[in-house]
Amino acid sequence: MHLSPAALVLLSITTAVQAHYTFPRLVVNGKAEEKDWSVTRMTKNANGKNGVENPTSGDIRCYTSQTAANVATVPAGSTIHYVSTQQINHPGPTQYYLAKVPSGSSAKTFDGSGNVWFKIHTSMPVVDKNKQMTWPGQNGYITTNATIPDNTPDGEYLLRVEQIALHMAMQANKAQFYLACSQIQITGGGNGTPGPLVALPGAYKSSDPGILVNIGAIAPDAYKPPGPPVWTGE
Ligand SMILES: *[C@@H]1O[C@H](CO)[C@@H](O)[C@H](O)[C@H]1NC(C)=O
């Protein structure tokens, strides 16, 4: 059988789509958001599912998403993760950020602009005896678990998940950022001073060593996730 060039293009597009994913559903202490995109903002790639490749574009913040109808209540200390639409088959770290909604705004409307984002979690690869790297959450259908720090002040926040696919990252602007933002209200928190605070876009450059990287050629423990350090919780 001979496939026409058009059929071959279609085949490769289909294959590419299958390798991509989005995170439409937040899970808090094992309880999932009741339906997709109800507290998580529907991203521009909800259908195509392709990742963001330019880490300095506006899409890197919340993927140019629509606001969601609801706000999830998330007690400080909760374990959170996201359900993925497809298997998370690409290697790379998972990171979570929070942004406190400024007074006068609300989680349903805040656009996440300004130096407001702090990191609460990142994941590093595990190395086996054959020096093969695997990443927490890789090949599963849910993202890595993270804990909302006990000391996070109460209030409304945007919660941002990203999984950075590094299989093509040896070329500039070929790491793929799979990400989503959810509208949450943190309760029962503390008196911490979260930071360092960064802007998105702003925190990442295309040439960051965690973004432009050949993961086959570095020592596995040498990987440096992009962005600020994880907030210590103090
Ligand atoms: C992640 O957290 C959920 C509860 O939200 C728990 O059921 C699950 O076992 C945890 N997974 C891992 C790998 O710790």
Q: pLDDT, tens digit, for every residue of 20-47? A: 999 999 999 999 998 999 999 999 999 9
148 lines ligand 1 (CB under 6 A): no
Residue 13 CA to ligand 1 center (angstroms) comes to 34
Residue 226 pLDDT: 98
Residue 158 CA to ligand 1 center (angstroms) comes to 22
pTM of the model: 0.92
For 134-151, the pLDDT digits (tens) are: 899 999 999 999 999 999
Indicate the top mutation candidate among 74, 79, 88, 134 to test ligand 1's pocket, ranked by most ligand atoms within 8 A of CB.
Answer: 79
Of 25-39, 51-65, 135-149, 211-225, which range is least confident? 211-225
The CA-atom distances, in angstroms, between 160 and each of 13, 27, 167 are 28, 13, 22
Would strands 176-187 and 72-75 be described as parallel, antiparallel, or unpaired? parallel
29 lines ligand 1 (CB under 6 A): yes
Please state the rounded mean pLDDT for residues 151-158: 98
74 lines ligand 1 (CB under 6 A): no
Tokens of 201: 């876009």
158 lines ligand 1 (CB under 6 A): no
Indicate the top mutation candidate among 145, 147, 161 to test ligand 1's pocket, ranked by most ligand atoms within 8 A of CB.
Answer: 145
Rg of the Cα atoms in the chain: 18
Q: Which has more pLDDT, 93 or 10?
A: 93
For residue 3, count CB atoms less than 10 angstroms from its CB and return exposed for 0-12, middle for 13-18, buried for 19 or more: exposed
Contact 112, 158 (CB under 8 A): yes
